[in-house]
Structure formats: C-alpha cells, structure tokens
Amino acid sequence: MFRRISQFCKQLFEDNQRPTETTPAGLSLEVVARKHHAISRKQISENATKVLYRLHKAGFKAYLVGGGVRDILLGLEPKDFDVVTDATPEQIKKLFRNCRLVGRRFRLAHIVFGRDVIEVATLRGHHVDSGEKVSKTNAEGRLLRDNVYGTIDEDAERRDFTVNALYYDISDFSIHSYGGGLQDLDSRTLRLIGDPQKRYREDPVRMLRAVRFSTKLDMHIDPAAAEPIYELAPLLQDIPAARMYEEVLKLFFNGHALNNYELMREFGLFEPLFPLVEAVLRDDPNGPAAKMIKAIMRNTDQRVAEDKAVTPAFFYAAMLWYPLSQRADDIALESGLTTYDAFYAAMGDVMEQQCRSISIPRRFSTPAKDIWQLQLRFERNQGTRAFKFIEHPKFRAAYDLLLLRAEAEGGHTAKSAAWWRSFVEGSDEQRSVIARSTKTSKSRNNRRRRSPKKTNKPAQE
C-alpha cells in the first residue's frame, strides 16, 4: 500500500500541470486533476456522494475533506465521511429533509440516513475582528466558539494536520492538497498547519489527535509538532470533561490503545486525563497498576481486532481499580470504617474525581461501580454461594476484572482467580464437586466490623 502511494505521488509530481499556489496566509496549495490521483467515487459512501451532489446541483461548492480523503489515499476504509460546503447551515437545512443542525462551538449539519450520519460543515474562516457571537477565545488562547465562515483556503489554514487538509472537489473530481498534505501522506509525516504552539493552545485536543493519528496511520509526528507537547500537555485540564470523554473513547477503543497509552505517557498527556491513575503509577512504576493498565490496553485492542464489544463500564472499572483500592485502604485507616463501608465511600470519591476530567455517563459509571463491588464477593462466595453469584448480570465483567487483577498481582488474588476459573470453566458436575469441597470463608467484612450497628448501605449480596 505504501508503494502505491509513492508511485501515485511520483506520478503526481512528474505529471501535474498546475503550478503550486499559495493561500493568503502562505500555505501551499496543489490542485491535482482527476486523472492524476487514485480516488474514485466508488470508494466514497453512497450517502456521502448523494450529499455532495445535492449541494453541487444546488449551486454550492462541496468537498469531501479530512479523514475520508486521507484514508482512501492510504488504502484504509474511512471511519466516516466529512463534507464541507460554502452553504450556510440554514441553507443546508433547506436542501435536506433529513438534516439536523447541531453544535455550539462548531455549528454543523448532520444529514441522517438511518444509522449513517454525514457531517456537513460550512467552510470556516479566520476569527480576527469577528464578534463574540461567532468566535471567542479564552485567556490561554483556546477557541471557545468558532463559527466564522470563509473560503476553502481559510478553511484549510484552520485544519489541524496537512494530511487532514485534503479536499476532494465534487465539481471536477480534483484533490486540493494544502501545506504539502499529499507529500506528507507519502512520507508518513504528521505536520501541523501553522505554528504548533499556537495551534495547540487554540485547541489542546490536537495534541491527543497527534498521538492518535500517528499510531492509527503509522506516521511519525514531525519534530516541530512533537516538541511543544510535553510542555503544553497540562492545558488538557481545561477541556470540558464531556468532550474528553469522546476523545478517550477514540484513543482507547480504536484498536491502538496500547500504543496510544504509551505515547501519551511519554508526552505527559495521560496525567491530565487520569490524574489518579498517574499518581499510583508514579508511586510504583512497575507495580500491579502498571501491569494492569497495559493488560487492559492489550485486551481492549484484542477485542477490537476480534470485533467483540468493548464497554466503557469495564474499561473505567479496571483503569481505576488500584486508585480505588488505595483510597479504600486510606479511608479505612483514617476512619476505622469496615472494609466494605470504606470501599463504598472510596467508590464515590474516585468516580467523582475521575469525572472532573472525563465525564463518564451514568449508564457506564453505575455498572462500573457494580463491577467494583462484586470484587469483594469473589473471596466470600467460593463454595456453594458461587452458583448464585455467577447468575449476577455483571458477574462476567467482574470475573474478567478479577483475572486482570490476578495477572497484575499474583499471590492471593491469583489463587482466588484460579478457584473461579475452575468453577466457571467446569461442567455442572465439576462445579458441584468444586463448590462442595470448598469451605465458605467467613466475610472479612463481618470479622472486622467494630460495631454491630446496622447501616443503611445496600447489602453486598
């Protein structure tokens, strides 16, 4: 595939008749005619093609842009197709019955075809001299609102990487390549458009995108784009937690979790997202937490590769397990609460703290807490209680976490995991033998309880 692009670009440089132009801000532009590039309409989804043609026929400019063009040229299947046009969101809405206008920071049109959504944006311009209503930055230079419309040249100047500033023009099937995007695709270079410091300050998420694209597309980050990341990484703390939630999914559920994690730690990008986990890793760089995180990443990648479901509930339960147990120990020590009560209090604390940087929706944080609570039952429920326990709807996820803990910790946890593994994997008959030959251990909770007073907390079973 790599050779295919090289050949394509070689041919492009030899044959392209059009001289390179420059945008007003000094970004280079090459327009590559249909006969000199490899994108055909067949590679673009039917729905995206429909949208492009409808806009074109109504007299608007319409381009496929970003990942769609980039990935087709790389021989990959695009995740989604993004369209840009000179039609305003209101004009787009008039053209499509199935159109929804969304977004505040970026006002966008979503053209909905059942489960497939084509995102259509209006070409963005520069935001100098424009009023607060359309564009706004904060003290660090971060863009808070960004709805100034402009030309394709201006739009290109505002994209993140040159390989993302490739536009496929539906009017003549040419590709507009800005800032040497095609050449960078060929040499596998992720190069930021404009001054890296300024571009990261405008939107710190671009640092995470640099990591994500470099692992996903097997590209190296241009030194000028890599250099400021470590210093600017703390700016991620200011990104709204809801946006961060989406970015984290893209980083860890895209099949490259392990590579992304390692690169993020190298660049200091992990800490602002997972401060509690980073603290535990720092205390004990080769301890169970470090092993656990790598195991989660490896497992997630494997599941994605096998097309199996991955859920944020399990992911966050596992990521935060060691910060949680440490917090529970601290609370128990400080307050004299029972193991269970301290654990219960720690669950609330840890989840709340994590949600300050990444807002985990309740539909995932609640089952994550279930997975945590069930960890306490693995020891107590060996024996005949195991039959009831494995019926619990969250048993499988909790058991998977137990296996990860066993891998990370060894010792007592590994022994417990081994018991459960033989029970879970055993036939009905084997299970009976295993369960009956095991003496149920008394709850540690009950043994350590200092006061016999009843609490209102839900029972563990």
Q: Residue of minimal CB distance from ligand ATP?
A: 67
371 touches 347 (CB < 8 A): no
Q: From residue 76 to residue 115, what is the string marking binding to Mg ion with x (rule CB under 5 A)? A: ----x-----------------------------------
Catalytic residue among 80, 329, 349, 370: 80
Name which of Mg ion, ligand ATP, none residue 206 binds, using a CB cut-off of 5 to 8 Å depending on partner kind: ligand ATP
- The CA distances from residue 365 to 98, 211, 236, 298, 316, in Å, are 33, 26, 22, 22, 8
**Residue 345 three-state SS:** helix
Interacting stretch for ligand ATP, rule CB under 6 A, among 10-18, 168-176, 203-211, 306-314? 203-211
- Binding of Mg ion by 217 (CB under 5 A): no
CB of 80 to ligand ATP, least distance (A): 5
Catalytic residue among 86, 155, 160, 184: 160
Going across the sheet that includes 108-113, the strands are 21-22, 28-32, 175-178, 166-169, 62-65, 82-85, 116-122, 108-113, 99-102
Closest by CA position to 202, among listed 135, 130, 263, 120: 135
Q: How many residues bind ligand ATP (CB under 6 A)?
A: 11
CA distance 396 to 313: 12
**Residue 373 three-state SS:** helix
Q: Residue of minimal CB distance from Mg ion?
A: 67
- Binding of ligand ATP by 164 (CB under 6 A): yes
Interacting stretch for Mg ion, rule CB under 5 A, among 19-27, 64-72, 94-102, 145-153? 64-72
- Cβ neighbours of residue 279 under 8 Å, at least 6 residues apart? 323
Closest by CA position to 398, among listed 410, 384, 386: 386
CA distance 212 to 221: 10
- Binding of ligand ATP by 66 (CB under 6 A): yes
85 touches 63 (CB < 8 A): yes
Given candidates 48, 52, 67, 226, which one binds Mg ion under the rule CB under 5 A? 67
CA distance 331 to 156: 53
Q: Is 370 a catalytic residue?
A: no
Given candidates 55, 205, 351, 368, which one binds ligand ATP under the rule CB under 6 A? 205
CB of 329 to ligand ATP, least distance (A): 40
Which H or E run includes 457?
none
- Binding of ligand ATP by 160 (CB under 6 A): yes
In this structure, how many other beta carbons lie within 10 angstroms of the beta carbon of residue 154? 18
Instruction: Look at strands 220-221 and 189-190 and give their pairing.
Output: parallel
Residue closer to Mg ion, measured from CB, 67 or 181? 67
Residue closer to ligand ATP, measured from CB, 144 or 333? 144
Q: From residue 73 to residue 112, what is the string marking binding to ligand ATP with x (rule CB under 6 A)? A: ------xx-x------------------------------
Which H or E run includes 302?
helix 288-305
Catalytic residue among 71, 82, 153, 341: 82
Instruction: Look at strands 143-146 and 108-113 and give their pairing.
Output: unpaired
Q: Is 80 a catalytic residue?
A: yes
CB of 148 to ligand ATP, least distance (A): 14
- Binding of Mg ion by 323 (CB under 5 A): no
- Binding of ligand ATP by 184 (CB under 6 A): no
Closest by CA position to 184, among listed 227, 154, 213, 151: 213
Which structure tokens are listed for 54?
């409808």
Which structure tokens are listed for 83?
């369209």
Q: Is 341 a catalytic residue?
A: no
Interacting stretch for ligand ATP, rule CB under 6 A, among 202-210, 226-234, 272-280, 331-339? 202-210
> Catalytic residue numbers?
80, 82, 160
Q: Given the rule CB under 6 A, which residues bind ligand ATP?
A: 66-67, 79-80, 82, 159-160, 164, 203, 205-206
Q: Given the rule CB under 5 A, which residues bind Mg ion?
A: 67, 80
